[in-house]
Amino acid sequence: MNVFNGIFGERIFKAATLSALIFFILFLVGIVVSMICYISSDRFISILFSKEIIFAIKLSLITATIAVLISVAIGIPAAYALSQTEFWGKDIIDTILDLPIVISPIALGAALLIFFSTPIGSGIEEHGIKFVFVIPGIILAQFVVVSALCIRLMKSTFDAIGSRYEDVARTLGCNKFQALFKVTLPLAKNGLLAAGILTWARAIGEFGATVTLAGATAMKTETLPIAIFLSLASADVEKAIAVILILIIISITSLFAIRKIAGSGWSI
Amino acid sequence: MNVFNGIFGERIFKAATLSALIFFILFLVGIVVSMICYISSDRFISILFSKEIIFAIKLSLITATIAVLISVAIGIPAAYALSQTEFWGKDIIDTILDLPIVISPIALGAALLIFFSTPIGSGIEEHGIKFVFVIPGIILAQFVVVSALCIRLMKSTFDAIGSRYEDVARTLGCNKFQALFKVTLPLAKNGLLAAGILTWARAIGEFGATVTLAGATAMKTETLPIAIFLSLASADVEKAIAVILILIIISITSLFAIRKIAGSGWSI
Amino acid sequence: MIKIHDLDVDVGEFHLRDINIEIKKGEYFVILGPTGSGKTVLVECMAGIHNPCKGEIWFNDGNVTLLTPEERETGYVPQDYVLFPHLNALENIQFGLKIKNHSKKEIEKRVGEVTNRLNIKNILYRQNPKTLSGGEKQRVALARALIIKPRLLILDEPLSALDPRTHEELQRELKRIHKEIKTTTIHVTHDFEEAISLGDRIAVMNNGKIIQIGTPDEIFRKPKTESVAKFVGAENLFKGKVIYSDNGKGISRIRIHGMDTNIFSLTEKVGAVYVSIHPEDIVLSEAVCKCYNDKNILKGKIVNIMDKGSLVRIIVDVSIPLTVLLTRRAYLETELKKGSEIYVIFKAMNVHVF
Amino acid sequence: MIKIHDLDVDVGEFHLRDINIEIKKGEYFVILGPTGSGKTVLVECMAGIHNPCKGEIWFNDGNVTLLTPEERETGYVPQDYVLFPHLNALENIQFGLKIKNHSKKEIEKRVGEVTNRLNIKNILYRQNPKTLSGGEKQRVALARALIIKPRLLILDEPLSALDPRTHEELQRELKRIHKEIKTTTIHVTHDFEEAISLGDRIAVMNNGKIIQIGTPDEIFRKPKTESVAKFVGAENLFKGKVIYSDNGKGISRIRIHGMDTNIFSLTEKVGAVYVSIHPEDIVLSEAVCKCYNDKNILKGKIVNIMDKGSLVRIIVDVSIPLTVLLTRRAYLETELKKGSEIYVIFKAMNVHVF
Amino acid sequence: IENEETQKTIMVFCGSASKPAMEEAARIFEEKTDIKVELNFGGSGTMLSQLKMSKQGDIYSSGSPDYMIKAEKDGVVYPETVKKIVYLVPAICVQEDNPKNIQSLEDLTKPGVTVGICAPESCCVGGYAVEILEYNNMSEKVKPNIIVHAESCSKTATLIVMDKVDAIMGWRVFSEWTPNDTDVVYLKPEELPSIAYIPIAVSIYTKDRKSAQKFIDFLVSEEGQKIFARYGYIATEEEARKYAPNAQIGGEYELPDNWKT
Ligand SMILES: Nc1ncnc2c1ncn2[C@@H]1O[C@H](COP(=O)(O)OP(=O)(O)OP(=O)(O)O)[C@@H](O)[C@H]1O
Ligand SMILES: Nc1ncnc2c1ncn2[C@@H]1O[C@H](COP(=O)(O)OP(=O)(O)OP(=O)(O)O)[C@@H](O)[C@H]1O
Ligand SMILES: [Mg+2]
Ligand SMILES: [Mg+2]
């Protein structure tokens, strides 16, 4: 007999898988703790309540939320089409969807800047909304970075639900729109929520594309990640770390809260 | 009767969802095209075949692949534990897993740098592997950025498979390890592959953490995203765009190829 | 009422071919076939869920082939019920009416009617339909379909996967409901008993084709082909050859393939045929009794006795194995044992030849 | 062989309570119960998939309560087969042997044996087990369990969801295999016929409890409680009260609840009781025949005739509705019609009182 | 819209080498005038790229002369508006209290000393570091000790703050930014081939050249110079000359081939 059999083997197995998880988590916690050790709490408090950082917190929360809402609004129909509709060139579109994930955000920001200096882009800027170096640019940059991820995640939710419920709903008199709103979306809400959470997390930490498209102007386009960058740019490591910790605390508590609320009330 | 009913309504629906998808795709394509218009093909070719860029391509492909392999190796047991094992504090661990997604990569890189200057970190550097400013640093940076995403994606694959197949395998004489290797992993291979692909895409585009932890030393730690940044930082916009296009071409063709191969031979 | 004309449907690797069906208004029409024969695909095609690649479907003189499901007004009760998991039982039932913006009063009235009829008042507020038992789920799905007053009611294996008690109850209920509301109904099943006791007419499917349509009696007493006979459970089924055909009297003698057993029948067929004798048409006797020339009397030995609850199945070897059915009561009175020698007797008119 | 002692199991909201079972070596033991009664949970607990929160399980004098599934050597054929979708049929069957590193020759030998026995040689190389038909899947799952020569074979509803033809074939096969290999077998079902014709003994479950264990005859003829009787399909089941008990002769008279119908039986019970008469124990007669005092003779009117294939079910209203079963043949010879007046006759010894 | 007409706004693309002083100067300028100054910080080259790609912005200020020369060549600034704000003197920066006891350029060649420079192709202070090493014929000896090229000059300064290297080739002013973490080791005057300055100019994409010019005028005024002096920058040429009497001021430096990739 082999040691991996039986209850003993089961314990080894559990220990092995759990320890991989715990090793990983400890590594993350270790990094955070080593940052906490770096700064004094006085300095932390004074940074936290500075006008600049309060502005950055608000701006981050607002822009990330708007970017996620837009991603979800465009992402739901797009993911639905990708999941439930058959059309020519689907695998090509599937691959194009990887573009924003593959291109690093700074490059993506640069591409957006260039796009807005083309005739089409400057047309949009002049007659529609201005994006370059202003707050809508932050939202656009976050949207571009996170939307593809959001679509991918929502696609797998729709894949899991399948078309059976809709088919039956239609025999009961629903048209496609009603079937989507009355059946598929309510059924998908947990998955969509999870996708939204992950997307929001990614958006709130977005830096590269934001800084390139919207610039790093204090008190104007300064989100928390840009505040981190600006602190590092003046070699103020302590402030940078304080802002990193603020970012962590704010987003982790928001995420935990969303999960808890969602977990209790929303489950199917 | 309402216009959304019947075959006409179905067409409107299809058009609406597809157009969201196509709008999004066209936007991405538009961005790429506006970049292509910016550079001449001669310059592109000469940049593509420069020693520096060939080095960067190789380094990017190798480091991203290694980072993904490590993520998968640690991620599989971690995701398995998260999906199939019940333990206290699971929701806390679940939230901690969002850390690397929330913190922007530059901040993550800074955090890693700080970590390696603590006693534990410098211990690892001196008696184990050196990470700071060398190639292993690139891999570590990419690993930290992508692994949480990888674990999340693999967790949902394991969630979907459930424990039923393993239970039956165990009545046939498998211990937990055999059940994992002979049953769950083969069943999960499509999902793991998809997770691997998305993770790889994210790793190859990783810039912020890499540049902070491993530096931007040409011909030493210069991956494609760093080459893009260095070009931008030397105000050579044309070269930057050329490298962005190279990054896009290389990763999109690799991803397309992986999907095709996987789609044909691997499907369950 | 419903006319299906030369329908071909492809789903994935599976094909329905040459489907022709006519169903009369108010008829209870059963589709019978083994697992995987395409019954569900066919009814889903009527409901508008699958699109045919050839052929037409007409409802009441209207061509519905190109209509979407919501325009067809069928009430579909799927095999797996497909209750909406985000709604409670009541909301599931109201679903179709709410979609059509019926007034609150109207909805309440109809819900009252249908829940009364189906006797499900007590489970209406159960939050998660997954916790309903199989029978309850089935009733809710049925109520959900009935409430929209469909032109055609489609029931896909509504009774399978229920324990026999619930099965029987619901079967009785279906009969009663159909009598009351008289909606044209299509009922899919793979159970003969269900088909016989419910169906006005039955269509037998196999491998994506309809192989026979007829009244229950036609199907079970006169299967047109071997596969129908085999499927509908013609137990004593043998290959044979007509060796003597006396057309005048209508009596012919059939030699069972590879044996020298002869069986009399009333067929006018010649050449190679199939023969089947229903087990309940065979009488067991301890002695040869007074016999007419249209009777088959064969001597044999009991090789097996199987207790099947209220019925006992006895296999008698008369060079060919014949299955005979007795009620348990009859069996207990006879003192039959394995190995007993016995005569089997059956009328020539009960020998089915095809 | 197997002893289950005071077992309590919790899975989610569901609880098994006070399970006590003893199974003899080589026995064919059936667990019978309605949907959701916990049959699957119980057998999975024996296989080691669920952990009990109280009580013990012994195999052959060894306490296995704390052993993992791989240490128990049970052959488990799950309700939904759970064939490994990444392996073909053959690889599925070899799975357990390959895990234990048996020699190639040994594996080949055993595969040969088991595939011969189950007659599945022709589908071994089918790549995707999902394309197998229900019956084929079932055989592959059975082969996969048999090949490891388990100490205990567990079959969870192996025959449900099969069409009746396949159902009958496989049932016969299970009986044959058990006769040949004599492995102790537990068979879960909700079908009485299956239970009777296969089981050496039957345990009836409901709501997570075992409510009766006994031979088929005991269960079906002498259900201990109303719920067993109802579940095992005691069709003519009535509430009544013993109004006259003649202990000397053992004959008592029971008045049916709310009626003035009296029924004679051999019970010694007094007070409120349940009465059940099996439909096949009732004789129909056009006239009152010579009768002894232990016979019940009631006059009634036929209110319904239901054709159930080879059987015909006749409901006779004798102030209470009595169900009577006839073979189709008997029925055709009697010319009974709805509305006919008729006598129903049954022996006092066939009136089951509890 | 009305607000936009009354409130003038200029956008400055600014290399982060001047960040602390520039922020204060902008604040004071805003108080004095009704012109709002938006400062966008980043690497000098990155800022130039952003200016070129977006075709927006009123003022460009790089961290050292070479990017301004490049900007003039690319025609994105008005050459006649180029002004020097302050001077930058290259120096070696070391960790607090100089644990490796580095006293001269020579000491950077010692085995075991780790050195960081800024990426020479893209970053101003990197180019100056290479020029100094080449000028003193030490580049081959120091090269093995250079373990990292940082991607921007602020990152280079951060290397010392986080104790990642023993010494960096940076600006003297780095030690003024983080006086508690960084010590400075001056180079000998004859070792310095050139000194740098922070230039500023009006971009051709400006939509309000007058306001832009006003801000530049403010920076080079006495008041502006005082602010920079407060942050440790060298405001006048004479003061800069103290560190390197013979050095060339600014000028383009062509990276030698052995440093190119
Ligand atoms: N959407 C689909 N795509 C591909 N194949 C399908 C699809 N739906 C059904 N099939 C296939 O069509 C065949 C017939 O399926 P169908 O569900 O109609 O059988 P059925 O007669 O209803 O059987 P059962 O009695 O098991 O319900 C099966 O082989 C099935 O695998
Ligand atoms: N893993 C589980 N977690 C929670 N509840 C469960 C689990 N497994 C089974 N149950 C619940 O336990 C109850 C009994 O289930 P079980 O599968 O044992 O019934 P069964 O008697 O096998 O029924 P069937 O005839 O339908 O197979 C059901 O209500 C079921 O929902
Ligand atoms: Mg079906
Ligand atoms: Mg079960």
Give the rounded distance of the alpha carbon of B208 from its chain centre: 14
Instruction: Determine the residue type at C285.
Output: S
CB A251 within 8 A of CB B107: no
With beta carbons under 8 A apart, name residues in chain A contacting E19.
230, 233-234
- Ligand 2 pocket check for D51: Cβ under 6 Å: no
| A185 and E CB contact within 8 Å | no
Nearest CA to ligand 1 atom 18: C38
With beta carbons under 8 A apart, name residues in chain B contacting D186.
none
- Ligand 1 pocket check for C11: Cβ under 6 Å: yes
How far is it, in rounded angstroms, from Cα C343 to Cα B268?
57
End-to-end CA distance of chain E: 50
pLDDT along chain E (261 residues), means of 10: 63 85 91 90 85 88 87 91 90 89 89 88 82 88 88 83 88 84 88 89 92 93 90 85 83 77 57
Task: Please answer yes or no on whether C95 and A172 come within 8 Å at the CB atom.
Answer: yes
Cβ neighbour number for residue A257 with a 10 Å cutoff: 11
Task: Please answer yes or no on whether A4 and B176 come within 8 Å at the CB atom.
Answer: yes
* B193: its two tokens: 């592959």
| Helix count and strand count (H, E) for chain E | 11, 11
CA distance A251 to chain B (A): 7
Q: What is the DSSP letter of C130?
A: G
| Ligand 2 pocket: which of D16, D19, D41 to mutate (most atoms within 8 A of CB) | D41
Angle between helices C89-99 and C134-146 in degrees, nearest 10: 20
Please tell me the distance between residue C32's alpha carbon and the centre of ligand 3 in angstroms. Answer: 10
CA distances from B145 to A240, B93, B102, B148, B198 (A): 19, 17, 10, 7, 13
Percentage of chain D exceeding pLDDT 70: 92
D227 class by beta-carbon count within 10 Å (0-12 exposed, 13-18 middle, 19+ buried): middle
CA distance D284 to chain C (A): 13
How far is it, in rounded angstroms, from Cα A214 to Cα A232?
18
Please tell me the distance between residue C50's alpha carbon and the centre of ligand 3 in angstroms. Answer: 14
Nearest CA in chain C to B10: C68
Least distant ligand from the CA of D210: 2
How far is it, in rounded angstroms, from Cα A62 to Cα A56?
10
* pLDDT band for position C103 (cuts 50, 70, 90): very high
With beta carbons under 8 A apart, name residues in chain D contacting C230.
165
Dihedral, E241, E245, E246, E249 alpha carbons, nearest 10: -10
Which range is least confidently modeled, A18-27, C22-31, C189-198, E221-230? C189-198
Nearest CA in chain E to B34: E53
With beta carbons under 8 A apart, name residues in chain B contacting E157.
none
* pLDDT band for position C235 (cuts 50, 70, 90): confident
CA distances from B181 to B237, B248, D70, E52 (A): 49, 35, 15, 55
Instruction: Give residue C234's pLDDT.
Output: 65
Which of residues C285 and B57 earns the better pLDDT score? B57
With beta carbons under 8 A apart, name residues in chain E contacting B226.
151
CA distances from D150 to B184, D48, D70, D182 (A): 23, 14, 11, 11
CB A63 within 8 A of CB A135: yes
The DSSP H or E segment spanning B135 is helix B135-161
ipTM of the modeled complex = 0.77
How far is it, in rounded angstroms, from Cα C4 to Cα B202?
54
How far is it, in rounded angstroms, from Cα A111 to Cα B52?
22
* pLDDT band for position D84 (cuts 50, 70, 90): very high
Which residues, at least 6 apart from D212, have a Cβ–Cβ distance to it below 8 Å?
Answer: D203, D204, D218, D219, D223, D224, D225, D228
DSSP A3-29: TTSHHHHHHHHHHHHHHHHHHHHHHHH
Flag whether pLDDT at B228 surpasses 50. yes
Task: Tell me whether strands D341-347 and D283-285 are parallel, antiparallel or unpaired.
Answer: antiparallel
D vs E contact (3+ beta-carbon pairs below 8 A): no
**Backbone torsions φ then ψ of D79, nearest 5 degrees:** -55, -40
Domain segments of chain D: what residues?
Answer: 2-231, 237-353
Task: Please answer yes or no on whether A171 and C85 come within 8 Å at the CB atom.
Answer: no
Instruction: Give residue A268's pLDDT.
Output: 31
How far is it, in rounded angstroms, from Cα D60 to Cα D58?
6
CA distances from C54 to A60, B245, C4, C70 (A): 58, 49, 11, 21
| Ligand 2 pocket: which of D11, D77, D205, D211 to mutate (most atoms within 8 A of CB) | D11
Contacting C residues, span 54-113, partner chain A, CB-CB under 8 Å: 68-70, 72-76, 78, 82, 84-86, 95-96, 99-100
- Ligand 1 pocket check for C161: Cβ under 6 Å: no
Closest partner residue to E154 (CB to CB) among A117, A220, A234 is A234
pLDDT in tens, D187-216: 998 877 788 778 899 999 988 999 999 988
* D253: its two tokens: 């008279």
With beta carbons under 8 A apart, name residues in chain A contacting D68.
5-7, 9-10
* Ligand 2 atom with least separation from CA of D14: 12
* pLDDT band for position D350 (cuts 50, 70, 90): confident
* Ligand 1 atom with least separation from CA of C14: 12
How far is it, in rounded angstroms, from Cα A172 to Cα C74?
8
pLDDT in tens, C306-321: 876 667 888 888 888 8
Closest partner residue to D66 (CB to CB) among A5, A7, A9 is A7
Mutate to test the interface with B, among A3, A11, A31, A118 (most CBs of B within 10 A): A31
Instruction: Give residue E236's pLDDT.
Output: 84
| Ligand 1 pocket: which of C7, C8, C13, C14 to mutate (most atoms within 8 A of CB) | C14
How far is it, in rounded angstroms, from Cα A166 to Cα D146?
42
DSSP D210-236: EEEEE-HHHHHHS-SSHHHHHHTT--E
Task: Please answer yes or no on whether A173 and C96 come within 8 Å at the CB atom.
Answer: yes
Closest partner residue to A235 (CB to CB) among E42, E50, E154 is E154
B26-60 burial, b at 16+ Cβ within 10 Å, e below that, comes to eebeebbebbeebbeeeebeebeebebbebbbebb
Instruction: Give residue C47's pLDDT.
Output: 92
- Ligand 1 pocket check for C189: Cβ under 6 Å: no
Identical fold for domains C2-231 and C237-353, yes or no, is no
Domain segments of chain A: what residues?
Answer: 1-38, 41-263
Q: How many CB pairs under 8 A join C and D?
A: 96
pLDDT in tens, E23-72: 899 999 999 998 999 888 888 888 888 888 888 889 999 888 888 988 99
Which three-class secondary structure state does DSSP give residue C354?
A: coil
The DSSP H or E segment spanning C34 is none
Percentage of chain D exceeding pLDDT 90: 27
Flag whether pLDDT at C248 surpasses 90. no
With beta carbons under 8 A apart, name residues in chain E contacting A234.
16, 19-20, 154, 177
Task: Please answer yes or no on whether D48 and B171 come within 8 Å at the CB atom.
Answer: yes
Instruction: Give residue C288's pLDDT.
Output: 66
Which of residues B215 and D105 earns the better pLDDT score? D105
Mean pLDDT of chain C, nearest integer: 83
The DSSP H or E segment spanning B34 is helix B6-36
Which three-class secondary structure state does DSSP give residue E107?
A: helix
Nearest CA to ligand 2 atom 16: D38
pLDDT in tens, B84-100: 888 888 888 888 888 88
Flag whether pLDDT at C77 surpasses 60. yes
How far is it, in rounded angstroms, from Cα D12 to Cα C131?
13
Please tell me the distance between residue A86's alpha carbon and the centre of ligand 1 in angstroms. Answer: 20
C vs E contact (3+ beta-carbon pairs below 8 A): no
How far is it, in rounded angstroms, from Cα C283 to Cα C280?
8
- Ligand 2 pocket check for D206: Cβ under 6 Å: no
Least distant ligand from the CA of C37: 1
Nearest CA in chain B to C70: B6
Instruction: Give residue C321's pLDDT.
Output: 85
Flag whether pLDDT at C291 surpasses 70. no
Which of residues C234 and A145 earns the better pLDDT score? A145
CA distances from D57 to A27, D64, D214, D275 (A): 44, 6, 20, 37
Whether domain B41-263 has CATH 3.50.50.60: the reply is no
Which three-class secondary structure state does DSSP give residue C35?
A: coil
Which residues, at least 6 apart from E147, have a Cβ–Cβ distance to it below 8 Å?
Answer: B133, B215, E114, E115, E116, E165
pLDDT in tens, B164-194: 899 999 999 888 899 999 999 999 888 888 8
Which residues, at least 6 apart from B223, have a Cβ–Cβ distance to it below 8 Å?
Answer: B56, B59, B60, B63, B138, B206, B207, B210
With beta carbons under 8 A apart, name residues in chain B contacting C67.
6-7
Please tell me the distance between residue A104's alpha carbon and the centre of ligand 3 in angstroms. Answer: 50
Residues D237-353, CATH architecture: Beta Barrel (2.40)
CATH number for the segment(s) D2-231: 3.40.50.300
How far is it, in rounded angstroms, from Cα A149 to Cα A144?
10
To which residue do tokens 């922070």 refer? E198
Which pLDDT tens digits describe chain A residue by residue (268 residues)? 577 777 888 888 888 889 889 988 998 898 888 888 888 888 899 999 999 999 999 999 999 999 999 999 999 999 999 988 888 888 888 888 888 888 888 888 988 988 888 888 888 888 888 888 899 999 999 999 999 889 988 988 898 888 889 999 999 988 889 999 999 999 988 888 888 988 998 899 898 899 889 988 888 899 999 998 888 877 788 888 899 999 999 888 888 888 777 765 443 3
Which range is least confidently modeled, C69-83, C276-290, D261-275? C276-290
Nearest CA in chain C to A186: C86
* pLDDT band for position C168 (cuts 50, 70, 90): confident
| E38 and A CB contact within 8 Å | yes
CA distance B40 to chain C (A): 48
Mutate to test the interface with E, among A212, A220, A234 (most CBs of E within 10 A): A234
End-to-end CA distance of chain B: 45
- Ligand 2 pocket check for D190: Cβ under 6 Å: yes
